[in-house]
Protein backbone atom coordinates (compact mmCIF):
# COMPACT_ATOMS: atom_id res chain seq x y z
CA UNK A 1 0.00 0.00 0.00
CA UNK A 2 1.02 3.59 -0.61
CA UNK A 3 0.87 4.52 3.07
CA UNK A 4 3.65 2.13 4.14
CA UNK A 5 6.33 4.85 4.09
CA UNK A 6 4.19 7.01 6.37
CA UNK A 7 3.50 4.09 8.71
CA UNK A 8 7.22 3.30 8.92
CA UNK A 9 7.92 6.94 9.84
CA UNK A 10 5.19 6.90 12.49
CA UNK A 11 6.53 3.65 13.95
CA UNK A 12 10.05 5.10 13.98
CA UNK A 13 8.76 8.20 15.80
CA UNK A 14 6.96 6.03 18.37
CA UNK A 15 10.10 3.95 18.97
CA UNK A 16 12.25 7.06 19.41
CA UNK A 17 9.77 8.72 21.76
CA UNK A 18 9.26 5.66 23.93
CA UNK A 19 12.99 4.89 24.03
CA UNK A 20 13.75 8.40 25.27
CA UNK A 21 11.57 7.89 28.37
CA UNK A 22 12.50 4.25 29.02
CA UNK A 23 14.82 3.84 32.01
CA UNK A 24 18.06 1.85 31.82
CA UNK A 25 17.20 -1.79 32.37
CA UNK A 26 13.70 -1.22 31.03
CA UNK A 27 12.22 -3.38 28.29
CA UNK A 28 10.17 -2.40 25.28
CA UNK A 29 8.15 -4.88 23.23
CA UNK A 30 7.89 -3.60 19.68
CA UNK A 31 4.98 -5.23 17.86
CA UNK A 32 3.17 -4.75 14.58
CA UNK A 33 0.22 -6.37 12.84
CA UNK A 34 2.29 -6.63 9.68
CA UNK A 35 4.33 -9.09 7.65
CA UNK A 36 6.27 -6.38 5.81
CA UNK A 37 10.02 -6.35 6.56
CA UNK A 38 10.24 -2.54 6.44
CA UNK A 39 7.84 -2.32 9.38
CA UNK A 40 9.49 -5.15 11.27
CA UNK A 41 13.09 -6.39 11.21
CA UNK A 42 14.22 -3.51 8.97
CA UNK A 43 12.69 -1.01 11.40
CA UNK A 44 14.50 -2.62 14.33
CA UNK A 45 17.75 -2.83 12.35
CA UNK A 46 17.58 0.90 11.61
CA UNK A 47 16.76 1.66 15.26
CA UNK A 48 19.68 -0.42 16.56
CA UNK A 49 22.06 1.35 14.16
CA UNK A 50 21.04 4.68 15.73
CA UNK A 51 21.31 3.60 19.39
CA UNK A 52 24.29 2.15 21.26
CA UNK A 53 22.14 1.27 24.28
CA UNK A 54 19.92 -1.40 22.69
CA UNK A 55 20.06 -5.07 23.60
CA UNK A 56 17.81 -7.41 21.61
CA UNK A 57 16.41 -10.02 23.99
CA UNK A 58 16.00 -13.47 22.40
CA UNK A 59 12.37 -14.56 22.45
CA UNK A 60 11.38 -17.95 23.76
CA UNK A 61 8.15 -19.69 23.00
CA UNK A 62 6.89 -21.45 19.93
CA UNK A 63 4.83 -18.66 18.35
CA UNK A 64 6.36 -17.32 15.20
CA UNK A 65 9.29 -17.83 12.90
CA UNK A 66 12.62 -16.55 14.18
CA UNK A 67 13.82 -13.42 12.40
CA UNK A 68 17.07 -11.53 12.93
CA UNK A 69 15.64 -9.29 15.68
CA UNK A 70 12.31 -10.84 16.61
CA UNK A 71 9.63 -13.30 15.58
CA UNK A 72 7.19 -13.21 12.68
CA UNK A 73 3.78 -14.84 12.61
CA UNK A 74 2.36 -15.19 9.11
CA UNK A 75 -1.30 -14.83 8.19
CA UNK A 76 -3.24 -18.05 8.44
CA UNK A 77 -0.94 -19.78 10.91
CA UNK A 78 -3.09 -21.04 13.80
CA UNK A 79 -5.92 -18.81 12.50
CA UNK A 80 -3.92 -15.66 13.26
CA UNK A 81 -3.27 -12.52 11.26
CA UNK A 82 0.25 -11.41 10.37
CA UNK A 83 2.17 -10.22 13.40
CA UNK A 84 5.75 -9.33 14.38
CA UNK A 85 7.34 -8.73 17.76
CA UNK A 86 10.81 -7.86 19.08
CA UNK A 87 11.89 -7.39 22.70
CA UNK A 88 14.43 -4.63 23.35
CA UNK A 89 16.20 -3.74 26.57
CA UNK A 90 17.80 -0.39 27.30
CA UNK A 91 21.26 -0.88 28.72
CA UNK A 92 23.10 1.70 30.75
CA UNK A 93 25.88 3.44 28.85
CA UNK A 94 29.15 4.00 30.68
State pTM to two decimals: 0.90
Provide the pLDDT for residue 1: 62
Cβ neighbours, 10 Å, residue 68? 13
State phi, psi for 74 to the nearest 5 degrees.
-95, 150
Nearest to 45 by CA among 32, 29, 56, 34: 56
State phi, psi for 72 to the nearest 5 degrees.
-120, 130
Exactly one of 14, 18, 29, 33 is catalytic; name it.
33
From first to last of the 94 residues of the chain, give the pLDDT tens digit: 679 999 999 999 999 999 999 999 999 999 999 999 999 999 999 999 999 999 999 998 888 999 999 999 998 777 778 899 999 999 987 7
**pLDDT above 90: percentage of residues in the chain:** 80
* Residues in Cβ contact with 29 at an 8 Å cutoff, skipping those fewer than 6 apart: 85, 86, 87, 88
Q: Is 56 a catalytic residue?
A: no
Fold of 4-90: Rossmann fold (3.40.50)
Amino acid sequence: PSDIKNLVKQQQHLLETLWSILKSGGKLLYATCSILPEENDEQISHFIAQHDDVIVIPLSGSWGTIQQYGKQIFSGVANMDGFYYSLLEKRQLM
